[in-house]
Structure formats: C-alpha cells, structure tokens
C-alpha cells in the first residue's frame, strides 16, 4: 500500500495539472450532492424547531424572495396542541392532530380542494364566502390592508381584520390581505382563486385580481366597538358641509361610538360629531383639518354619554375611523425610464423608510434602494428588488457618503434627524430589527459605547459630504416633517417633478404611520449617553449647523443641542 501511495505521489509531482483537475472534479461532485440534498424537497415536519422566521436576522444578507422560495423549504412550525387561535373566535374546539397528513402538492385543482377542506375545518371561526372580483382602482374591501410577500397565511389575515373590528377578510395574490365591512363586487369562479398563500401552501389566498373572502364570526358584538378611533380635534364647520361631508344621520342619542360605528359602516375614514348629527367624509380641500379650534368650543355633552363631548352645529369634533383612505394607496413603477436619478439620502436611523412610505403614497410611484432588504420588500416596497439604476422608481434610498457615490445622483432629498434620536433608532434596528428594540444587555454592554464611537462621527460627515458634493440638494429635517407633514411633503414632491393633488396629500396625512413605526412603549428608563458622548456629539451638531448656515439654509433645530 505504501509503495502505491509513493508511486501516486511521484506521478502527481511530475504532472501537477492532472492532480488539480482531479481535485476540482472531487469538489464539484461534493457540491452537487449537497445541492441535491437541499433542493430535493424535504418532508414537512410539523414538530420541527426550524421556522422561516429563524432565518431572518438583521445580520443576514437578503438573497431575494424568489431565490428563497425556489430553494430550501423551511419546515412549518406548529404548536403540539394544534393551531393557536385568536380571542375573537366563537369556537374553542380543538382541531384534530393529524390535519397535516397526506397532502398533495399538485396543480390548481388540488390546491382548491385543500383550500376548501381547510375552510370547512374553520367554519366555526370564519366562514368562507367565496371568490370575488377585485380592482386596484375600486377595491372590493375598502378597509385596512397589508401585504407580506413571504409569510402571509389565511389565519393571519383573519386575525388582523378581526382585531380591528372588520366583518370581512379577503386574501389576494397569495400575499395581500384586505379588510372591510361590505363586499362591493360580484362573485368570480372558484377556479380563479388559485394562488397558494406565501406562508401556508396548504391554503388558497385568492388570485390575480381575485379575493378569497371570509366572514369573521366575532366572539361578541363589543369586539366591533371602535375604541381605537383617533381623535383629530375640534374644527369649525366647513362651507358646503354636505359636499365636504357627504354622509350624515340624525342621532338623538348621540355618542362617539355610535357615530364612529356609523361612519365605519359607510366606509368613511372621518367620523364628525355635530351635536345630534353624525357626518362622515374624507379629508379634502373643503375640510383639510389643518386649522384646529379651541376644544372648549366643542365641549357640548353627548345625549347618550354624560362624560363625552359631541360638538355642535358650528364646531365639529372629528375622529379618524379604522377605515383606510384608499385615495392614495395605488402605487406602480414609472411608466417610462426616469431621466434623472434622485437620491433619498439619510444617515441610518433618520427615518428613511418612513419618508419612502410617504413619498410612495404622495406620488403613486414606488421608491427604489441602493441596497436589498427582504423585510422591506415583503412589506410592500416593491422597488426594493430593482437595481438602483433601473430608472423605474421615483427616488433611491441611500445611506452612502463619499464623493463618488454622491456624484452618481443628479439631485437629492437630504433627510436629517437629531443625532441623539437617530443613533438610538439605528442601534434598535441593528439589534432588534426595523420595528424592534435592542435588548437591555446591548445598551449596558460594550456594544452601545462602540456603536456611538463609530457612528456619531458618521452622522456629521454624511451630511457634510452631501452638502459639499451633492448637485441639487433639498434639506428636510425629520422633526419638521413630523410637525408639518403637508408642507414638507409638498417640497419633496416638487423636487421629484411630480404633480400631486392636494386631496392625495391630505390622504397621506391620514395614513402617515405605515408599517414601520416603532412603538414608543419600550422607552429606556435612563439616558444612555455619557457626558463624554454628549460632548463629542455636540461638536458634530455645531459643525453641521455651521455648514447649513454657510449655504444660506436654516441651521439645525434647537432641540438638537445637548439637553
């Protein structure tokens, strides 16, 4: 054996090319075996600890939705006792534990049969109504909507709609969920609802312009009360009130809940209390909700509720219902290639994703990105997967700084945020995701001081670089955008060269939060900035302030300076 090995060694020493060829073939064969084991369709194991969510950390690169769906199949996770149901279901009966057996993964017909089987098992909780037509310009269900192009399920859509008090939940295109109180379209053939749910291949989630609609069986009638309606303020009665607020009803026993319920049923986003009259409508140029009056002028007691105010004929109390204003929800790619590349530039944590949401609603066009973020694409930012030079998007998100990168854009909206807030927001995103929070251990450990030391100087150099190398830069302060959204959004849209009607911008004001607003419930109980940190950041603020004033711009807002 030793002689054989010695002969082989001498042979390959004289002919090294053949040795490396054999080695390459060996490695290639191993790779093919590995790929085959991954793509050959592993069985779905209900008890497996692995889940799609486990593969989605903030530190992992985005590989693309289509790549993931064609590649390794993550096993579905399910509690041992069967599927968990929300509190809005009437029935508490348990499902059989063998519901996952003998599934056929065939064509549309088998998917439809599986979908019907699943619907029959869930009749106690949500009754399947049928397949309905839908239209992007005139939605069949006109309440709240949300998208998830990776993990949408029938139960998730039903649960979200029921939680908000809607009567119907509809799924479309495998990944889109729509809620409403009224179905405003005709039936379609069941065979046209033929798309699998992105997060639950055993069920059907509508089709192309087709909705699979369920009627939600709420646990009790009180679930439909609209305690989460948003108070907008007291306003003077508009001229032509019947045009500004087209739906109305006399209510001798008026209460906030009754008026909100009435306007929600009528599919209007505004409920307006005017004494014993309830009016409904949209924010518009006739009733823009920009000039609030003293609330004492509306402090007239409701007939049915002693401790509630119901306004008067002259001074109206306005609440925003949970009905989604769809006048600004349609979005598409640019019909022709953009002549200029416009950057939406910001330091990380400065509200770029929120600004993209506002721009998309205001213009009706998708925004793009210098990067690829799968979680943003799955939430409806469809321009995320386009190459940033594709010319199909209205502007491009970027956190880049440096002369070469900046000069590749023809103009830019530069979004600046208080560095104290921006650094904390980015730290939360880095360790907790887009709307999550960093753990207490991260704040108290070495991660936070190291993060501030590395990122705080970048906050200043990012702004200074864009002011220095940018060709046409519109500066927008995040705080001004929050305080006066309508005016600041008008400035941004004007730079983008798009004409947006006032009614559309008013619609944006009512939908401004989007899906990426971090909850304020988990605020730190202490100030994470040390005196040394504040001293360094104060110097960076003064440098940016001086650079802005040198360009005849207003300096940074006063609240940027150390507290």
Q: What is the pLDDT of residues 135-164, one digit of tens each?
A: 888 889 887 788 988 889 998 898 888 766
Angle ∠(544,550,552) on CA atoms, nearest 5: 110
Q: Average pLDDT in the 264-287 region?
A: 94
What's the chain's Rg over C-alpha atoms? 28
- Looking at every residue in the chain, the average pLDDT score rounds to 79
pLDDT the model gives residue 471: 92
CB 556 within 8 A of CB 540: no
The sign of the CA dihedral 541, 543, 546, 552 is: negative
Does the pLDDT of residue 59 top 60, yes or no? Answer: no
* Largest Cα–Cα separation, the chain: 107
Give 111-159 as a 3 state SS string. Answer: HHHHHHHHHHHCCCCEEEEEEEECCCCCCCCCCCEEECCCCCCHHHHHH
Q: Express each pLDDT in 410-466 by its tens digit.
A: 999 999 999 999 999 999 888 887 667 888 889 999 999 999 999 999 999 999 999
Tokens 């950390």 identify what position? 57
CB 333 within 8 A of CB 387: no
* Model confidence band, residue 54 (pLDDT cutoffs 50, 70, 90): very low
In angstroms, rounded to a whole number, what is the distance separating the alpha carbons of residues 95 and 98?
9
To which H or E segment does residue 355 belong?
helix 352-363
Tokens of 306: 């002693």
> What is the percent of the chain where pLDDT is above 70?
74
In angstroms, rounded to a whole number, what is the distance separating the alpha carbons of residues 537 and 11?
67
DSSP assignment letter at 2: H
Higher pLDDT, 117 or 292: 292
Tokens of 402: 């440096």
Q: Going along 411-539, which residue ranges are E strands?
A: 411-416, 473-477
In angstroms, rounded to a whole number, what is the distance separating the alpha carbons of residues 358 and 412?
16
Give 267-330 as a 3 state SS string. Answer: CCCEEEEECCEEEEECCECCECCCCCECHHHHCCECCCCCCCECCCCCEEEEEECCCCCHHHCC
* Model confidence band, residue 515 (pLDDT cutoffs 50, 70, 90): low
Cβ neighbours of residue 62 closer than 8 Å, sequence gap 6 or more: 372, 373, 374, 377
């Amino acid at each position: 054996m030793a002689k054989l090995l010695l002969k082989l060694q001498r042979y390959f020493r004289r002919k090294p090319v053949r040795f490396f060829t054999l080695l390459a073939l060996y490695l290639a064969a191993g790779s093919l075996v590995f790929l085959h084991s991954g793509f050959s369709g592993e069985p779905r194991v209900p008890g497996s600890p692995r889940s799609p969510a486990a593969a989605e950390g903030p530190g992992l690169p985005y590989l693309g939705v289509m790549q993931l769906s064609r590649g390794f199949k993550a096993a579905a996770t399910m509690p041992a006792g069967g599927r968990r149901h929300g509190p809005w279901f009437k029935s508490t009966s348990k499902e059989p534990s063998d519901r996952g057996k003998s599934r056929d993964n065939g064509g549309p017909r088998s998917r439809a049969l599986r979908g019907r089987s699943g619907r029959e098992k869930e009749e106690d909780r949500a009754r399947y109504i049928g397949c309905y037509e839908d239209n992007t310009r005139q939605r069949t269900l006109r309440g709240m909507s949300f998208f998830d192009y990776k993990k949408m399920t029938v139960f998730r859509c039903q649960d979200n709609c029921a939680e908000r008090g809607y009567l119907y939940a509809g799924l479309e295109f495998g990944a889109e969920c729509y809620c409403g109180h009224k179905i405003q379209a005709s039936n379609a053939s069941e065979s046209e609802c033929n798309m699998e749910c992105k997060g639950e291949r055993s069920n059907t989630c509508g089709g192309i312009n087709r909705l699979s609609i369920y009627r939600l069986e709420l646990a009790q009638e009180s679930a439909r009360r609209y305690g989460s309606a948003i108070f907008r303020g007291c306003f003077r009665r508009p001229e032509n009130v019947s045009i500004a607020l087209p739906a109305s009803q006399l209510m001798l026993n008026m209460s906030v809940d009754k008026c909100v319920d009435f306007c929600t049923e009528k599919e209007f986003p505004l409920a307006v209390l005017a004494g014993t009259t309830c009016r409904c409508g949209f924010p518009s140029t006739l009733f823009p909700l920009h000039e609030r009056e003293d609330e004492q002028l509306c402090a007239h007691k409701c007939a049915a509720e002693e401790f509630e105010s119901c306004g008067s004929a002259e001074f109206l109390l306005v609440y925003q219902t949970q009905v989604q204003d769809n006048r600004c929800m349609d979005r598409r790619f640019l019909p022709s290639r953009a002549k200029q590349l416009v950057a939406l530039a910001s330091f990380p944590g400065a509200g770029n994703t929120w600004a993209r949401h506002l721009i998309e609603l205001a213009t009706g066009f998708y925004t793009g990105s210098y990067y690829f973020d799968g979680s943003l694409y799955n939430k409806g930012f469809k321009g995320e997967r386009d190459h940033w030079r594709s010319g199909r998007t209205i502007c491009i998100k970027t956190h880049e700084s440096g002369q070469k990168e900046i000069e590749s854009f023809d103009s830019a909206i530069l979004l600046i945020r208080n560095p104290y807030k921006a650094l904390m927001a980015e730290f939360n995103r880095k360790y907790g995701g887009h709307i999550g929070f960093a753990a207490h251990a991260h704040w108290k450990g070495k991660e936070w001081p190291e993060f501030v030391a590395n990122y705080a100087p970048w906050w200043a150099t990012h702004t200074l670089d864009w002011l220095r190398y940018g060709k046409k830069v519109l500066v927008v302060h995040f705080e001004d955008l929050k305080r006066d959204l309508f005016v600041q959004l008008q400035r941004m849209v004007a730079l983008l060269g798009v004409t947006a009607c006032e009614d559309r911008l008013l619609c944006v004001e009512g939908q401004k939060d989007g899906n990426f607003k971090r909850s304020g419930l988990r605020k730190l109980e202490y100030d994470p900035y040390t005196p040394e940190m504040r001293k360094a950041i104060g110097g960076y603020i003064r440098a940016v302030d001086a650079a802005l004033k040198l360009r005849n711009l207003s300096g940074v807002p006063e609240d940027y300076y150390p507290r």
